[in-house]
Amino acid sequence: MNYLEEYKKWCESPEFDEETKKELLEIKENKEEIEDRFYKELEFGTAGLRGVIGAGTNRMNKYTVGKATQGLANYILEQGTQNKGVAISYDSRKMSKEFSLQTALILCANGIKAYLFENLRPVPELSFTVRNLGCTAGVMITASHNPPKYNGYKVYWDDGAQIVEPRDKDIINCVRAVEKYSDIKEISKEEAIEKGLLKIIGTEIDDKYLSVLKNAILNPEIMREQGKKLKVVYTPLHGTGNTIAERLLKELGLENVYVVPEQSEPDGNFPTVDYPNPEDKRAFKLALELAHKVDADVVLATDPDADRLGIFAKDKKTGEYKEYTGNMSALLIAEYRISQMKEKGILPKNGMLISTIVSSNLAKAIAKYYNLECIEVLTGFKNIGKVMKKAEENHDKTYVFGYEESYGCLIGDYARDKDGIAAVMALCEAACYYQAQGKTLWDAMIDIYEKYGYYKEAQVSIVREGVQGAEEIKNMMTKMRNTDITKIGNYQVLTFKDVEKDIVKNLKTGEITKTNLPKSNVLYYELENDAWCCIRPSGTEPKIKLYMGIKAENEDISNQKIEELKNAMLKIVEEGAL
C-alpha cells in the first residue's frame, strides 16, 4: 500500500475516530504533507519510537502508540513474563499523560500488570523503578530534548536499560505484526484497577530512588558544610527534573538553590525556550540572568525527561560563566568521583569506565591513570547498559562510571540509563569539595586539562528533512563510505572504521581487521596526534551527525584546532554529497 492509499484508508476506515479524519481532511490538497505523514511507519531507533505529534503512520498519535503497545504486549506474552508487570512514566510533553495511560490500559487489557506513575517523573527514575519492582519491562513517554512538536516512546527491559538487539528487532516485528488498529485490546481504567492490573505509584518510589542517590555521595560532611555557602541556579526547562531535584539538593545540605521560576512548572509548550535542550546555550538565558542576579557559583539545566544535564560554572578570576560540553561535565564528575574512590580505598581493581566511540579521548586518559578498563560502545546509552548487564551476569567487572558526549552520565549501577538528577547531585558535591579547597568548578576543569592534556571536541549536524532529505542523508553516507580519505584538514588518517561492514582498515599497512562492534551505520576516522572524526545518521531525527576531537597543549590552540577540523570535515561531507 502506497502513502496515498494509506492516507485514504485513515480518512475513510471506521478504525479511526472523527477527530483524526478531520485533521487529515484539512491537508487533502497538500501532497507533500500527506507523503511525509504516510510514507513510512515510525521505527525504533537509538532512543525508541519518536516523531511529530499528529495523525498518520509517520506520526506520534494514539494509533501508533496503541500499535506499539499491543506489539509490546504480544512480545511479553510470548516471553511468559506478563506477571512481572511493566513500569510506565512520562514527561511534560503534549499528550504524554494521555499516551502513558493508554499504554497502561492496553497492557492491562492483555492481562499484563501496569505500574503507572501518578504524575510525570524523570527517565532515570523509570529505569530505577523497573529494577526495583522487578518488572519485565518499562515504557517512558518522552521525546527527550526535541522541539515541542515531538513526542516519543522508549521501551526498557528487565535490567532497566533500553532494549538492544536482538530484542529490539523482535519487539518491532511484533509491532509490525499488528496489522489492524482494531486488534488493539481495550479496557477501562476502572476495570483495570478493579482487576488489580493497574497500580498507581508515586512518592514511595521517589523515596527509594533518592535514598540510593544520597548513598552514592562520597563526601557528605563536606557537602553539608560547604552547602551553606555554595549558590546553585537550576532549571528543569519546563520538564520533569524539579519533581525531585530541588528536594534532593536541600536534603543533602544545599541551602542556596535557586530554581528559575519561569521554567519551574511542567509545560509541553516550552514557552520560554525555542528548544528545550541543555546542549543549546540559548536554553540557559533565564538561568544565567538569575545566576548574575544571585551571584551563583554553578548553573544547571536538565532536559524535559531529566536524563541530560547542561552546566555553566563561574570563573571567579574573570567573573564569566563558562560553558561545559557533555564531555567536560561528565569527565569532571568522573575525575572527581574516581579520584575520591581511590583516595578512600574503594576503587575496584576490576573497574570499568564505559564511553561511546563519539566521546572524548580524555576518558581513555582518565581510565589509564586510575588503572580502569575503558570500554567503548556505539552511541546510545542502551549500549552502555548492555555492557553493564554482561558484567553483572559474569561477575568479572565492576561498573564505576559511564557516559556519552550527548550530556548524559550514570554514576552507579542502580539504573541503566543516563541520569541527569544524579549528575546534578554529583556536580554539586564536586563543587562543594573544590570550594573547600578554594577552587571553583572551572578551576577543577583546568586542573584536569593540565593533568591529561587539552582535549577538545565538537559536534555538528547537517539537517535534511522529509523524503528527499532522507535520500540525501543516505547518499552522503554512501559517498563517504566509498571514498578513500587519507587526510582530513591537517591530520593524516591512520585507520578507517566502517562499523556497518565490520571492518577496520589500517591506512599505513593496508591491514583489515574487525571492529568487534554491532552492525551500525557509522564511519570512524582515527587521525594522528590523538585526533579523530566520526559520522553517522541520527536514529531519531532527520539529520546526519559529525563528531570530532583533538588534543592540544593549551586552551587557545585546542579551540583553533577543533574549529579547523570541524570545517574540514563539514567540507568533505557536504562536497561529497553533491
What are the residue numbers of the active site?
Answer: 144
Half-sphere exposure of 54 (CA within 13 A, CB side): 18
Q: What is the largest CA-CA distance in the chain?
A: 70
- How many Å apart are CA 489 and CA 493, to the nearest integer? 10
Nearest residue to 231 (alpha-carbon basis) of 441, 399, 24: 441
Long-range contacts of 368-377 (CB under 8 A, 24+ apart): 369/451, 369/452, 370/338, 370/339, 370/342, 372/338, 372/347, 372/400, 373/397, 377/517
- How many Å apart are CA 337 and CA 440, to the nearest integer? 16
Q: Is the bond into 271 cis (omega within 30 degrees of 0)? A: no
- How many Å apart are CA 576 and CA 465, to the nearest integer? 19
Q: In this structure, what C-alpha cell is assigned to residue 534?
A: 566520526
DSSP 478-503: HHHHTS---EETTEEEEEEEETTTTE
Q: In this structure, what C-alpha cell is assigned to residue 177?
A: 505484526
Say if CB 111 and CB 73 are below 8 A apart: no
- How many Å apart are CA 249 and CA 424, to the nearest integer? 9
